[in-house]
Amino acid sequence: MTAPATRRARIAVLASGGGSNLGAVLDYLDAKGEARAADVVLVASDRPDAGALRRAEARGIATAVLQGRRAPEGTPPGELLDPARFDLVALAGYLQLVPAEVVRRFPGRMINVHPALLPAFGGAGMYGARVHRAVLAAGARVTGVTVHEVSEEYDRGPILAQWPVPAFPEVDTPEALAARVLRIEHALFPRVLHRLALSLVRPRDPEDDDFVGLDVTDIGFAPCPTRAREFAQSLDLMFGP
């Protein structure tokens, strides 16, 4: 009897820029090999010259240009993003607001990565270097990465996972901070996306009773454990029982 074909989630990635987060997702799925629970089947951008499209073409992934100010001839998002074609939509440095009626088609299945600890330093106009400049100007000593569900407002959807990153306002430039945060984006975003895909194609283990959200502990270091008991254990380690 032939093994049933492994159903994998079909992901559409939207990106406006160079696509390093897209690259991180593709590398993560490649590294998972046959065990991967998802494939990126389309990369779309509102910018015909976006590096993310070139990365996709280089890997033989279908691409599309989304209609917008920079591409009036592009495909309207509502025409492209069909739940019959895609199980998940991942925003990886996509700067346009996704139309509300399109967001509503993917309840719990459209996510975004933001280079700060939302709800702080987010919202319309808060992207790229502007975010890191604002963090340093505020004198914040901890920033980080947020992966959240997309809603009808910029950066306001339910938070799925966050990871802290230290900031050094005295010495950091926005570029240095952006680079430090981007490394964590590349570690966190693929794992959250894959976990979401797993939950769609391979139901969760009910034994895992105190599971708290998405398990990203395989990043190699865990400043914020995702299971209640691990957090208690790390407190005991730090401050004694």
Q: Which is nearer to ligand GRF, 84 or 145 (CB)?
A: 145
| Of residues 92 and 150, the one with the C-beta less far from ligand GRF | 92
Q: Which residue, 159 or 200, is less far from ligand GRF as judged by CB?
A: 159
Beta bridge partners of 63: 43
Smallest separation (angstroms) from ligand GRF to the CB of 22 = 6
Q: Distance (Å, rounded) from C-alpha 30 to C-alpha 99?
A: 31
Burial class (CB in 10 A: 0-12, 13-18, 19+), 46: buried
Helix, strand, coil percent content, the chain, rounded in steps of 5: 35, 20, 45
Per-residue CA distances from 156 to 20, 77, 146 (Å): 23, 20, 11
Alpha-carbon span 92 to 22, nearest angstrom: 6
In whole angstroms, the minimum distance from the beta carbon of 23 to ligand GRF comes to: 8
Q: What is the C-alpha end-to-end distance of the chain, expressed in Å?
A: 54
Nearest approach in angstroms of CB 30 to ligand GRF is 17
Pairing of strands 110-114, 142-149: antiparallel
Q: Which residues bind ligand GRF (CB under 6 A)?
A: 15, 17-21, 92-93, 113-115, 127-128, 182, 185
Nearer to ligand GRF, 18 or 225 (CB): 18
Give residue number: closest CB to ligand GRF: 93
Q: Is 186 a catalytic residue?
A: no
Cα–Cα distance for residue pair 7/139, rounded to 1 Å: 47
- Of 114, 132, 186, 194, the catalytic one is 114
State the nearest-atom distance from the C-beta of 141 to ligand GRF, in Å. Answer: 20
Catalytic residues: 114
